Amino acid sequence: MSAECVPVVPAEHAAPTSPAPPSGRDGDLPVPVTGWGRTAPSAALLVRPRTHEEAVAAVRRCGNRGTIARGLGRAYGDAAQNAGGAVLDTTGLDRIRTIDADGGVVVCDAGVSLHRLMEVLLPLGWFVPVTPGTRYVTVGGAVGADIHGKNHHVSGSFSRHVLSLELLTADGEVRTVVPGTELFDATAGGMGLTGVVLSATIRLHPVETSLMSVDTERAGDLDDLMARLTAHDDRHRYSVAWIDLVARGASTGRAVLTRGEHAPLDALPARARRRPLEFRPRQFPSAPAFVPEGLLGRPSVSLFNELWYRRAPRARRGQLQSIPAFFHPLDGVPHWNRVYGRSGFVQYQFVVGHGQEEALRAIVRRVARHGCPSFLAVLKRFGEGDPGWLSFPMPGWTLALDVPAGLPGLGPFLDGLDQVVADCGGRVYLAKDSRLRPELLSVMYPGLDRFRALRARLDPRGVFVSDLSRRLSL
């Protein structure tokens, strides 16, 4: 492996659409911290170490309210908040340590974003193995949430591609953690509650170009969509469907299905072959700081969804798209989360297993009847789950939808959906949760007791704690 140490810019400059939270020093007053959904701010002291040694010192001196690691703040709920305690802003840990350009392995600090990895690795012919709907996620956050992407049915979640971790635990020690151990299984998807990921060794995916070959088609309703996904998902590395959750009747669950592969060099036009691995994401104007409440109501979302569905091609094959356009279209609009107004929004994501399609149908019908104005709703198929005790994916169907937090009756409505999900053996995604009832957690996550037992042994003083962990008694 190359011994070269590649410096990267601080994450708040590398990720203009999601700046890191303000830094704190000892003696500073707590500042409000919130998730990407902007629904439940709480005050904490923000500490920003720039070296592993500074991170160790910060953990050793944290107060009785403990601390939690935070990356670029893209967890939608309260997973990276710690009311009255400390929050460890890891974006100062921002160095790519080594790159094996022959074998496709990178060693980097936890505060390096997926955006920065793409900038550095794509020119070398490598791509991150898993990316969610935003590239402004840190490596530490990717491990803590065990993120998934459009390729889960092929590649699994992020932790499947992690060869080892350096983990700072509650006793102030740094441990090397490898797959197949209890500590790795508790940390992958463990929401930062086993310790602070300081660095990770990650296996990469080889690519010939920075473009995607994309197939797009329309599905007339939910059953049509599921049939298409079931029949053809194994032919594509990436697959996702935008679904219209406002449509009713015969159009309930109509969707635009998009699948893609990394385009080979010979698929590019001659001009593009001169710079086949160029990575230059476009930036659009930022969302305004103030957006009127109710802008995304049912009438406006219904109109948007109708236009979006109608403009999609009935069937198109092999369109070339950039990586940002295919994977991260919203990243081009800085602070897009502001469009929901000051009340913020809830992203609700669940998974139900194969054989539970009727539960999925029932939820889609409920959402349509309730009039949830969701224009960001996606359906995917998951493949085999990964061993993380609190890792979200399991074989089946996952649906994610954004809903304005001020929607009347939203809390009881989502509680009802939680019960449907739990009753059929499904689960909700903790990295996006902000309101799940704690009594459902053990039903949804069978590994919860093992996770709690390991935490009790590893962290008896409760050094690592978050608003999420208090709310759910993790």
Of residues 151 and 12, which shows the higher confidence score? 151
- pLDDT for position 400: 98
Each residue of 395-445: pLDDT tens digit? Answer: 999 999 999 999 999 999 999 999 999 999 999 999 999 999 999 999 999
Whole-model pTM: value is 0.93
Condensed to tens digits (0 to 9), the pLDDT of residues 348-398 reads: 999 999 999 999 999 999 999 998 999 899 999 999 999 999 999 999 999
Q: Name the band, by pLDDT with cuts 50, 70 and 90, for residue 25.
A: very low
User: Looking at the predicted structure, is the pLDDT value of residue 48 above 90?
Assistant: yes
Residue 206 CB partners (closer than 8 Å, separation 6+) = 104, 125, 126, 127
pLDDT at 298: 82
Whole-number pLDDT of residue 402: 95
Position 2 confidence tier, pLDDT thresholds 50, 70, 90: very low
Q: Which residues contact 39 (CB under 8 A, 6 or more apart)?
A: 77, 343, 344, 345, 346, 405, 434
> What percent of the chain lies above the pLDDT cut of 90?
85
Q: What number is the average pLDDT over the span 178-203?
A: 98
**pLDDT mean over 100-126:** 98
Give the lowest-confidence range in 15-24, 176-185, 196-205.
15-24
Class of residue 338 by CB neighbours under 10 A (exposed 0-12, middle 13-18, buried 19+): middle
CA–CA dist 410, 407 (Å, integer): 6
Distance CA 14, CA 114 (A): 10
Predicted pLDDT at 292: 74
The reported pLDDT for the residue numbered 214 is 98
- Distance between CA atoms of residues 34 and 66, nearest Å: 17
How does the average pLDDT of the chain come out, rounded? 92
CA atoms within 13 A on the CB side of 32: 6
pLDDT, tens digit, for every residue of 246-295? 999 999 999 999 999 999 999 999 999 999 999 999 888 888 887 777 67
pLDDT digit string, tens, across residues 121-159: 999 999 999 999 999 999 999 999 999 999 999 999 999
Pairing of strands 255-262, 238-243: antiparallel
Alpha-carbon distance 214 to 233, whole Å? 13
With 80 as the cut, is the pLDDT of residue 20 above it? no
